[in-house]
Structure 1
Amino acid sequence: MKEKKQKATESKTRREFISDISKASAGGLLLSIPFRQASAQNKTWTVGEIMDRFIEESTGEPLTETVDTLKAGSRDIEVTGIITSMFATIPVIEYAIQIGANFIIPHEPTFYNHLDETDWLEDDSTYQYKSNLLEENEIAIWRNHDYIHRHSPDGVYSGLLDKLMWKPYVVEESSPRILEIPALSLTELITHVKARLGIDTVRYFGNSNHVCEKVLLLPGAMGGENHIRLIKENDPDVVLIGESTEWTTPEYVRDRTASGKETSLIVLGHTDSEDPGSIYMKDWLLKNLPGVDVTHINSGNPYRFG
């Protein structure tokens, strides 16, 4: 591990490691990536064919238990264009309508609960508006959560590591959660992460001068017990998570530090930590679906900070 760490440090200086790229707005819908055409070939794809192709490459056959189901539309729809995003928000749907795309592949739920159950929303005006918008414009939505995490490599981790420029620092290829980065203070690490991911603000715990080298990277919402187990097993200097309830992981990290095992915590936000996976999906589609127009849209963090 020490040899790999030394080699990584030599390949990129500490100053180079702290990126100074311009930050994008993290607050709203980002349409900075225009439609691109994968190929001039005139192949027509259906929603089902695209789903099956990714599933075959990820798990070989459909999972018996999965949240990755169609949330709107049908398998037989001929695809005119694809949008990948973290969430199929109403602005994302409206943009799809505007540019003539009829297939949206989000990573997370469309209807406000993990299983996208809608019985409890039938008389809700917000649900009705969104559902009618999809039906009237014949737009299909396929959630791609379980399959992209089972892809080789895991599409979310791979996309996030690319964004952070951290692939050279992965300790074991089979476990991209653990990294050995060039030594940075917590403040310097936060600056790098914000710049690379286009985040205006993050929540964090720790001493600003705490030296961080061993990183535990846990995007999304794995749950407090999983966070705590992995912290215990790996003993990191700093943990980067997507989100957590305040009474689980943050309180554990605070007590862990108070007990003598100094550990810092950076909370990126669920969307900001996993959106690079939707970029990974866009790139996969462009590579594997000749003739289909594909774009990625950052649906944005719903929060503003006062």
Structure 2
Amino acid sequence: MKVKEIVSEILNKFGGVKFEETCDKLMSGSYDTEVTGVVTTFMATVDVIREAINKGANFIITHEPTYYTGIDSIEWVKDDPVYIEKKKLIDKHGIAIWRFHDHMHAAPFDLIYAGLIKEIVWEDYLIKGLQFPHCYEIPEMSLRELSWFFKEKLDMKVIQIVGSPDTKCKRVGILVGGGSLGLGVEEMPMKLMKEQNLDVMVCGDITEWTLCPYVRDAASLGMNKAMLVLGHERSEEAGMKYMAKWLFPMLNGVPVHFIDAKEPFNYL
């Protein structure tokens, strides 16, 4: 199969919105490339690219940018040695890289959330009847226990919390990636907590003057509120892991591998 055939299969599978303006574009290679193997990943880092090469895969499907800005603009970085060396590696091995972001989130059931809730086995806890899969009702546990749960399920060494570790958590919000920044509406996460009476918000990215102080103030006022921060990558990577599973049967035997881009931070 060629890159363009695989892309077409993916975009037609879920019957979601089709965007004319989108960041879901081919960032390297050709749509006519004959695919030897596919890699799905959160981000096509140099380490991921090297692992793809070792697996004999020449088509990487990445959820996030390859060249460091939201729209993968390269005008500003053409003379940068980091870009130059990364592009050399990609071109030397004939790697095609396609971004699957906007359409992935716009599927009838957001495919990133689908992967995450499969990974943590929360399908039965989703609160039905809401527009987005943001709210869950789980067996009650403390924030401390919920933190341990996510550390184990998502292979995390460190997790940030706001609020008391003893906060009782039953109604849980999840806003993956940049969703916890409000998606252009800063007050959205706070309004969601209030309207859905959420005990805890599980976040991807954070801004320290929005949801963070809202929860901190609520806890200081004696309210049963808390926040747990996974980070962008850990909150979304499972969606790309899940993608490898649903993509493989569509590709007539073309190998499909998931490569974990891994959390970007080391902790001292």
- CA change 1:61–1:228 in 2 (3 A) is closer
Does the 8 Å contact 2:17/2:103 carry over to 1?
no
For residues 98-152 of structure 1, the C-alpha deviation after alignment (integer angstroms, 9 at most, x for no partner) is 2221000011111011000010001100001111211221111111111111224
| Residue equivalent to 1:279 | 241
| Residue equivalent to 1:197 | 154
For residues 186-230 of structure 1, the C-alpha deviation after alignment (integer angstroms, 9 at most, x for no partner) is 111111111111111111011111110000011111214132232
Task: Give percent identity, aligned residues only.
Answer: 39
| Residue equivalent to 1:258 | 220
2:16 and 2:154 map into 1 onto residues whose CA distance is 32
Q: CA deviation at 1:59?
A: 4.2
Q: Are positions 1:269 and 2:225 aligned together?
A: no
2:29 and 2:235 map into 1 onto residues whose CA distance is 28
* Residue identity opposite 1:212 in structure 2: C
| Residue equivalent to 1:117 | 73
2:13 and 2:195 map into 1 onto residues whose CA distance is 31
| Residue equivalent to 1:38 | none
| Residue equivalent to 2:31 | 75
2:261 and 2:70 map into 1 onto residues whose CA distance is 18
Q: How many pairs are equivalent?
A: 262
1:261 and 1:65 map into 2 onto residues whose CA distance is 43
1:67-106 to 2 correspondence within 5 Å?
67-106=23-62
Structure 2: unaligned runs, 5 residues or longer: none
Does the 8 Å contact 2:30/2:96 carry over to 1?
yes
For residues 162-190 of structure 1, the C-alpha deviation after alignment (integer angstroms, 9 at most, x for no partner) is 11111111111653211110010111111
Equivalent position to 1:244, from 183, 192, 206? 206
1:139 and 1:111 map into 2 onto residues whose CA distance is 15
Does the 8 Å contact 2:164/2:219 carry over to 1?
no
Q: Are positions 1:157 and 2:113 aligned together?
A: yes
Instruction: Tell me: higher relative CO, structure 1 or 2? Use CA pairs within 8 A at least 6 residues apart.
Output: 1
* Residue identity opposite 2:53 in structure 1: I
1:167-186 to 2 correspondence within 5 Å?
167-172=123-128, 175-186=132-143
Q: CA deviation at 1:63?
A: 1.1
* Other structure's SS at 2:233 match: helix
1:161 and 1:123 map into 2 onto residues whose CA distance is 41
Does the 8 Å contact 2:163/2:215 carry over to 1?
no
* TM-score normalised to structure 2 length: 0.93
Aligned-pair RMSD on alpha carbons?
Answer: 1.5
1:58 and 1:228 map into 2 onto residues whose CA distance is 31
- CA change 1:253–1:280 in 2 (3 A) is same
Does the 8 Å contact 2:203/2:230 carry over to 1?
yes
* Residue identity opposite 2:142 in structure 1: S
| Residue equivalent to 2:258 | 296
Q: CA deviation at 1:61?
A: 7.0
Q: CA deviation at 1:281?
A: 1.1
* Other structure's SS at 2:235 match: helix
* Residue identity opposite 2:241 in structure 1: I
* Other structure's SS at 1:141 match: strand
1:200 and 1:180 map into 2 onto residues whose CA distance is 25
1:190-229 to 2 correspondence within 5 Å?
190-222=147-179, 223-224=181-182, 225=186, 226-229=188-191
Q: Are positions 1:58 and 2:20 aligned together?
A: no
* Residue identity opposite 1:106 in structure 2: T
* More displaced stretch, 119-128 vs 242-251: 242-251
